[in-house]
Amino acid sequence: MTQFSLDDPVFATYAIAAALMILKTLAMAWLTVLRMMQVKGGYRAPEDLRKTPLNPAPDPKQLAPDERVERMRRIHMNDLENVPFFLVAGFLYVLTGPSLLMAQVVLYGYVASRLLHFAAYATAQTHDVRATFWTVGVLILIYMTVAVLLAALGW
């Protein structure tokens, strides 16, 4: 039985990968806000047009969509749609008792795919490039999930 301990290198690998994905997803909210502050726009709520120290000269145009802000929002939404599956699938995968090497390839491979997806999206690469990195991550999720299913069925 797998121990849930950071002394277990497989579980530690999962913990590192999960922590990186959580931090990356949280960072996207901050990057969105940073971009909003840089462009002084891309706001969504009418109350964002109130005069404040961070918005000393509100302008109704600040509610208009700004592609640079929306790009960060889309990246964040993509993380919110994908990372939770990784957190669950990765945890369950650890329960199957994979070798350390396989766990590292799969778990860190997923992290790499998400970071490359972010880089491709942030730099406005073509859909084909983004989709390639996204697909790698999804295939890793499918692999882990099928491994869990087979192990749970005793196959």
- In this prediction, what percent of the chain has a pLDDT beyond 90? 95
pLDDT at 54 over 90: no
Query: What confidence category does residue 3 fall into, taking pLDDT thresholds of 50, 70 and 90?
Result: low
Give per-residue pLDDT as tens, 11-49. 999 999 999 999 999 999 999 999 999 999 999 999 999
pLDDT at 1 over 90: no
Q: What is the pTM of this model?
A: 0.91
At the topology level, CATH places domain 9-152 in Four Helix Bundle (Hemerythrin (Met), subunit A) (1.20.120)
Q: Where are the domains of the chain?
A: 9-152
Element housing 74 (H / E):
helix 67-94
Query: What confidence category does residue 152 fall into, taking pLDDT thresholds of 50, 70 and 90?
Result: very high
Query: What confidence category does residue 4 fall into, taking pLDDT thresholds of 50, 70 and 90?
Result: confident
Measure the CA–CA gap between 6 and 22, rounded to whole angstroms.
Answer: 18
Query: What confidence category does residue 86 fall into, taking pLDDT thresholds of 50, 70 and 90?
Result: very high
Q: Mean pLDDT throughout 77-91?
A: 98
